[in-house]
Amino acid sequence: MNGLHKIQSGANVFKNYFIIALRTVQRNKLYSLINITGLAIGMAACFFIMQYAAFELSYDTFHSNAEQLYRLTNDRYQNGELTQHGVITYPSVPKQMAADYPEVLNFTRVIQFDPLYLRRGEDGFEERVVFADSAFFSMFSFPLLAGNASTALARPHSILLSETAAKKYYGIDWQERNVLGTTFSIDNRFDFAVTGVFQDVPANSHCSFDFLASYTTLGMEFGPEAEDSWTNSNFMAYLQLASGVDASALEQKFVGFSERYFRGTEVTNSLERFYLQPLTDIHLYSDYEYETWVHGSSSAVWGLLGIAGFILMIAWGNYINLTTARSFERAKEVAVRKVVGARKGQLFKQFFMESVLINAAGFCLALAIVEALQPRFRDALGIRFADDFFATNFGVIFLTILLFGTLLTGFYPAMLNASHRVGSALGNKMSPTSAGHKIRKAMVVFQFGLSFALIAGTYTAYSQLDFMMQKDLGINIEQTLVVDGPRLTSWDSTYFDHIGSIKAELASLPTIDYATTSQRLPGNRMGRIFNIQRKAGTSDTRYTSSQLGVDYQFFEAFKMEIIAGRGFRRSDHDLDFNAVRSIVLNKKAASHFGYASPEKAIGSVLQYWDKEWQVVGVVADHHQQSLRVPVEPIVFMPLYSSNQYFFFKLNTDDLQQTIADVGKTYRQFFPGNAFNYFFLDTSFNQQYLADLQFGKLISLFAFLGVLLACLGLFGLASFMATQKIKEIGVRKVLGATVAGVVSLLAGQFIKLIVLANVLAWPLAWFVLEKWLQRFAYRIDLGVGIFIATALSTVLVALLTVSYQSIRAALANPVEALRSE
């Protein structure tokens, strides 16, 4: 009974604390609203960011063998310089590694081609097909809904579909149909038998595909180059290591592997080095070339997590600032409670309960905000959030942070409030302590220092993005309609004639200035050729260069400046790479190959294995890819390709009619081929989607951080105005003007904001300079950005405190001095 009595007594005490805390919150509506709203915004922002980070960091963790899976990367050196830092390698390499090293349990090679035309009956679409070795399903956890995982990729001309693809081609009732064994025609040349249907690839997989075909098909159709080549580097490779194997130790053995099979530089005339990249690092930690799938940015994720921490600190800082500022207001309440017998510990619990209540209210409001806005954030920002967030490590961390923050924000104010002395409080001798005043000043400086950094980061991110999107690319991509080349037309001499005929017919339209073709889109990485030599050179130096097949009107159509020699002529063209005799270099390539000037390159001959190419022209450099990537040396070839693109330079605003005219002509020349089109500038700017997304995210959370800082400043200004009401009354009686009073109240805050800017400037500069180093071409981080940021924060702070300052300055001094 005694134990039960203690429990009931404790419950009653807790209930009493709760009721008093609730009444206190209701009695001080303005400060309670500021505190709860600020905490809710801070917690919600932190919640959003941590959900996003949890999803980004979860990539590929769903594979049961994730810790044993690695992607093979291949660095290539020529003349002591790194010429390729890529994810593609030779098909023989993983196969031989599995044979040489018992640490390697399994391997699979993976390659995704340009869209292939898949037809089943009357239904046909262009699809991206991935080819993989038979071990693929034993290494990766992509469950099959139909078929046998161990044999599905064993035979040539086998193909598996995702559940979504099965519904697309067989209907939503595909499971009731006999899907296995049915066939697909690919490019009207190959028949593939369906051997399985797999669950849709999860959104947090670094690779995504709807069609998976057997790698053995490539060996059958294209010969040993696909299986055993040591020189054809076009394939990705994944290795599964035995449990407990030290990947770093195995990497050390790869040096010997290179010497053994590449014999220094004898096989490829390049020095080959191989490394292992953990599967779970691929999405966020990839700076490699030739990535097949879009990947994320670790710096963006960790940067946003840092911002989440800043926002939460600002929110909790507001609470501590306002609560401690109002501490001496509650001194009489504390004194009266002590007089009637309340102990310090009881008072501490009472004030701590208020803190818990406000934090809990803020948390509940934050959950409501997240629930209401999450779908809109997902759509507007193009980001994904982790499902079952509170079941993840990040969910546990988030709750732990909230618990710690609640304890921290509750402990200090509660201890301060409970420590007031009875005599001082009842004798009207209470005033804010010097130490407390300094702490509040420090908190304002800290909050607006963070706000300065967030605003400067937003300015910088958008300035860099604008710079990249507005910079002269050296190639005119505006008003350019792009049409995919025909996939189903035989690649022969008639194809060559068709290309010339359709270009001529469409270029004759008044709405089209030029019609031209190219192997690659501006915005896409080019292929590379290795082992180029100068025929008349005095050394045996070999070079690597990017290569791009274009037609004779390409340079003129895209307004690319020819700085030496000439461009291509129609007579230079050929279908066959081996028949090419004339080439054009860009300025970077002319320098790369050792020519003293572009003019010196004209007429010279370059050797590539047994082929010889004469340099007939040099063009100015252009940006083939985003400004993250340096300009590369390029060898342009007058070459038509089966994977080409048509480019039509338009001079009209009537785009729909022009597209219809182009489509009609295209179908006449290439019947049966899909007419797929898009605009080049839109396609090119897709490279900047991740940067644009990051800009939106940082601007949103920077706004929230500044909003929270201003919310706290507003509450603090309101409190300070109330505390100085008698001083203001005396000053006004003695002749002080409204402007003078406003200057007095606002000035003390503006000084703190200026100090915050000065202190935050060096740190912000250091962080932003580091971020900008990721770009090959970037803005200069001048003082203009920081001056604009400083003026913005000062202006925002001034507007925030002006309302309370003006209100206090306009108050009747008689009311303030009535009690004196």
Residue 79's pLDDT band (boundaries 50, 70, 90)?
confident
Claim to verify: residue 95 and residue 150 sit in the same structural domain: yes
Claim to verify: residue 51 and residue 71 sit in the same structural domain: no
Q: Is the pLDDT of residue 251 over 80?
A: yes
Q: Is the pLDDT of residue 340 over 90?
A: no
Residue with tokens 């449990």: 243
User: Which among 348, 459, 462, 489 is positioned nearest to 413, based on CA atoms?
Assistant: 348
Give tens-digit pLDDT for 253-294: 999 999 999 988 888 888 999 999 999 999 999 889 889 888
What pLDDT score was predicted for residue 536?
72
Residue 425's pLDDT band (boundaries 50, 70, 90)?
very low
What is the domain count for the chain?
A: 3
Q: Is the pLDDT of residue 600 over 50?
A: yes
User: Which among 649, 317, 425, 375 is positioned nearest to 515, based on CA atoms?
Assistant: 649
The amino acid occupying position 797 is A
What pLDDT score was predicted for residue 93?
96
Claim to verify: residue 102 and residue 250 sit in the same structural domain: yes
The amino acid occupying position 547 is Q
Give tens-digit pLDDT for 350-376: 777 888 888 888 899 998 998 898 888
Claim to verify: residue 553 and residue 666 sit in the same structural domain: yes
The answer for residues whose C-beta is within 8 angstroms of residue 569's C-beta and 6 or more apart is 552
Q: How far apart are CA 110 and CA 234, in angstroms?
A: 9
- As a whole-number percent, the residues of the chain with pLDDT over 70 amount to 85
- 570: in domain: yes
The answer for residues whose C-beta is within 8 angstroms of residue 165's C-beta and 6 or more apart is 127, 210, 211
- 781: in domain: no
Q: How far apart are CA 413 and CA 351, in angstroms?
A: 8
Contacts 24+ apart (CB under 8 A), 798-804: 798/746, 798/750, 800/710, 800/713, 800/714, 800/717, 801/713, 801/714, 801/717, 801/745, 801/746, 801/749, 801/750, 802/742, 802/746, 803/714, 804/714, 804/717, 804/718, 804/720, 804/721, 804/745
For strands 211-214 and 130-132, give the pairing: parallel
What's this model's pTM, rounded to 2 decimal places? Answer: 0.85
Residue 493's pLDDT band (boundaries 50, 70, 90)?
low
Identify any residues that bridge with 527 across adjacent strands, giving them in sequence order. Answer: 547
What pLDDT score was predicted for residue 702?
87
Q: Is the pLDDT of residue 10 over 70?
A: no
For strands 271-278 and 81-86, give the pairing: unpaired
Last residue of a domain, one of 672, 691, 710: 672
Give tens-digit pLDDT for 575-591: 666 778 899 999 999 99
Claim to verify: residue 112 and residue 199 sit in the same structural domain: yes
Residue 640's pLDDT band (boundaries 50, 70, 90)?
low
Residue 783's pLDDT band (boundaries 50, 70, 90)?
confident
Task: Specify the range with the lowest mean pLDDT, choosing from 29-33, 453-457, 595-599.
Answer: 29-33
- Contact yes or no for 593/605 (Cβ under 8 A): no
SS3 108: strand
Give tens-digit pLDDT for 517-573: 998 999 988 888 888 889 876 567 888 899 999 988 999 999 999 999 999 998 887
Domain around 526: 486-672
Give tens-digit pLDDT for 140-167: 999 999 999 999 999 999 999 999 999 9
- 373: in domain: yes
SS3 417: helix
Claim to verify: residue 18 and residue 83 sit in the same structural domain: no
Claim to verify: residue 232 and residue 316 sit in the same structural domain: no
Copy the structure tokens of residue 506: 């469409």
Last residue of a domain, one of 413, 431, 449: 431
Claim to verify: residue 321 and residue 242 sit in the same structural domain: no
Mean pLDDT value of segment 297-302? 89
Q: Is the pLDDT of residue 57 over 90?
A: yes
Q: How far apart are CA 272 and CA 74, in angstroms?
A: 7
User: Which among 573, 566, 568 is positioned nearest to 602, based on CA atoms?
Assistant: 566
Claim to verify: residue 274 and residue 351 sit in the same structural domain: no
- 661: in domain: yes
Copy the structure tokens of residue 45: 């922002």
Claim to verify: residue 226 and residue 155 sit in the same structural domain: yes
Q: How far apart are CA 534 and CA 606, in angstroms?
A: 5
Q: What integer best gives the mean pLDDT of the chain?
A: 85
Report the C-alpha dihedral over residues 552, 553, 559, 562, rounded to 10 degrees. Answer: 30
Residue 433's pLDDT band (boundaries 50, 70, 90)?
low
- 131: in domain: yes
Q: How far apart are CA 206 and CA 296, in angstroms?
A: 9
Claim to verify: residue 159 and residue 277 sit in the same structural domain: yes
Mean pLDDT value of segment 8-20? 64
Last residue of a domain, one of 672, 701, 729: 672
- 234: in domain: yes
Q: Is the pLDDT of residue 176 over 50?
A: yes
- 634: in domain: yes
The answer for residues whose C-beta is within 8 angstroms of residue 50's C-beta and 6 or more apart is 305, 308, 389, 394, 395, 397, 398
- 106: in domain: yes
CB atoms under 10 Å from CB of 523, counted, come to: 20
Claim to verify: residue 51 and residue 102 sit in the same structural domain: no
